Amino acid sequence: MLDIQSVKQRYGIIGNSPQLKRAIEIALQVAPTDLTVLITGESGVGKENFPKIIHQNSARKHASYVAVNCGAIPEGTIDSELFGHEKGSFTGATDARKGYFEQVGGGTIFLDEVAELPLGTQVKLLRVLESGEYLRVGSSKVQTVDVRVIAATNVNMTEAVSRGKFREDLYYRLNTVPISIPPLRERKDDILLLFKKFAIDFSERYHMPAVELNESGKAMLLKYSFPGNVRQLKNIVEQISIIEQERVINSTILANYIPENEINTLPVLKSSHHSLSGDMTFERELIFKFLAEMQKDITELKRQFADLTHGQPPLRSDKNTFLFDPTSATVLPSKSYKQEHIEEAEYLNHDADLEDITDFDEDFDEDFDKNTSAEDIFSIQEKEKELILKSIRKNNGKRKKAAQDLGISERTLYRKLKRYGLEDL
């Protein structure tokens, strides 16, 4: 079995942090067994190296190794990709096809982003792990396979289980041996080593002198939280290597690639399964969400007061909004007549109807706005827009995940993107 230093050299792993060293030790210890391994860590930390370490130091090293990105395969075809299908089993199935499990028989299959698997596919994967059996799509014949499964995810699996997004029995079956890869912000001593390694690599690739950091550049780099982890650092070094004529990089140059106002204060938007980068970031996100909710409450109160002024029917109970009832001097859960129709029009995507409803009490809104601070409303809107932008970028444009991060429905997110002119993101 290779020692840790040999493994790092062979697989291009840079760093001396204790957490990274421990992850490599576990991978080497579990490699000779056939135990299932679950690798966890944020996006960009280098999880993809560890299944290779395990496979190539196992008895299966001469058999096949296949890596499958579960998040990149459409839900309608994932079963076919993993388990194969029979001819005519669905439209377009002109021939029978072997799935990845059948192709890799005797070897190792790496399921990246395993938390993205649909619940139905999770049931089939559990059967493979427990008995080595599966069915091709469109077949009733039981197939058997001898495969080692290694899975990886950037999701907090215990939270996914509690929310019903992932099967508890499958989680415990995958998590026989857990390996956790630390984020770059917890490996501060490795940042400069990685910068130097990437600078040399790009120097050789592009046939130019390697860039290096002066003291101010080093200080700035060490303050940055690196939400994209090692992958982000590598991209930064490559950009600098290609674009900059100056080979000694100071903080002024580096600020073009790491905005100074984001140094050490950049909120790293994460799903609740990720640890946040410090208490300040956590508090800041809570404030942004509170401001967004406060804007909704102000708008709703205006609508409801307009309903009372115009003699609308009594408001019906709903847990999502509140109304001050002047007859009882209490806060009652409610939703306005107008708001119900707005939501209905949004759900049906009837733009013309929504426009008519929005104009319902335009005169009252104009009077109300005279007594409302435009500066406060603008500030709230800017914070909400900023939060949405960061969530969209963090999730690489995946709006469903962004909506989950923000704690709102996907339909609500689409409406807000339209409001702020961000539909093209």
Which tens digit of pLDDT belongs to each residue from 153-204?
Answer: 999 999 999 999 999 999 999 999 999 999 999 999 999 999 999 999 999 9
How far is it, in rounded angstroms, from Cα 352 to Cα 295? 24
Specify the amino acid at residue 301: L
How far is it, in rounded angstroms, from Cα 63 to Cα 58? 10
Residues of the chain with pLDDT below 50 are: 264-282, 314-372
For residue 70, tell me if it sits in a domain: yes
CATH number at 256 reads 1.10.8.60
Domain housing 223: 185-262
Q: Helix, strand or coil for residue 355?
A: helix
Beta-bridge mates of residue 178: 38
Return the pLDDT at 57: 96
- Strand 148-153, strand 37-40: pairing: parallel
For residue 9, tell me if it sits in a domain: yes
How far is it, in rounded angstroms, from Cα 134 to Cα 141? 9
Q: What are the φ and ψ backbone dihedral angles of 420, each rounded to 5 degrees?
A: -95, 10
Same domain, 167 and 88: yes
Same domain, 119 and 36: yes
Overall pTM surpassing 0.85 (yes/no) = no
Residues 6+ apart with CB under 8 A from 98: 84
Return the pLDDT at 285: 53
Same domain, 84 and 217: no
Return the pLDDT at 391: 82
- 288-297: long-range contacts, CB 8 A cutoff, minimum separation 24: 288/383, 288/384, 288/386, 288/387, 289/387, 289/406, 289/407, 291/379, 291/380, 291/383, 291/384, 292/380, 292/383, 292/384, 292/387, 294/380, 295/377, 295/380, 295/381, 295/384, 297/321, 297/322
Same domain, 289 and 239: no
Q: Any idea what the Cα angle at residue 208 is, between residues 260 and 235, rounded to 5°?
A: 40
Return the pLDDT at 88: 85
Same domain, 222 and 239: yes
Same domain, 170 and 285: no
pLDDT tens per residue across span 13-54: 999 999 999 999 999 999 999 999 999 999 999 999 999 999
Q: How does the average pLDDT of the chain come out, rounded?
A: 80
CATH number at 170 reads 3.40.50.300
The residue assigned the tokens 């004529």 is 245
Same domain, 154 and 202: no
Return the pLDDT at 294: 66
Return the pLDDT at 296: 63
Specify the amino acid at residue 367: D
Same domain, 54 and 163: yes
